[in-house]
Amino acid sequence: MKNKKKIKIIIDTLDFIYPNPISSLYYINEFTLLLAILLTSRSKEEKVNELTKHFFKKIKNPQDIIQLTINEIKNSIKNIGLYNKKSSNIYNLSNILINKYHGIIPNDILELESLPGVGHKSASVFLFHRSKIPVFPVDTHIHRMMFRWKLSNGKNVKQTEQDAKRIFSKKKWKKLHLQIIFYGKKYSPSRKWNLKKDIIYQKLVHNHLL
């Protein structure tokens, strides 16, 4: 009963603040979406969007990538973190997509996860954007919020994802994924967390639900 009340407060508040959340990740097709997701790993989305708006003018498919050397890719993405590793991954996954999948990105999560640089979270985010398969990608913001709301133990992202999928209705996963990220960034950041500005936290404390 306590958890039901807590979940209702969370969902109602998120629906009020973010009734129609839309992803701000910049991409122009499935391939550029996959690259954008890979590039955002440990990098701020805003910075990646600035870069990809130029990069995706010349890069639109795996064939475009393999015309470049890894060094040329590095030079194009050197303003974001882990650019050395990301350059190799982009080049190698492009080759695999051409040779194994005829340039088409698979929709199977395990096949996606087998691509260089594409882990479980990246594969889930891709399917979140391009498939009707129900997924609930968990990033650092969702992981943090689930722990602060005492809906997960904060042990690891895998556990948090399992808890989120168990707690929230499947039909709400897609919307909640974005809502929680947006909320966490603005109202409940990891650094300089101001409890008075954290609306949901205040409501949960007021209702003795934390």
| pLDDT tens digits, 54-104 | 999 999 999 999 999 999 999 999 999 999 999 999 999 999 999 999 999
pTM of the model: 0.90
d(CA 204, CA 148): 10
Q: What is the pLDDT of residue 42?
A: 87
| pLDDT(182) > 80 | yes
Q: What is the mean pLDDT of residues 159-165?
A: 97
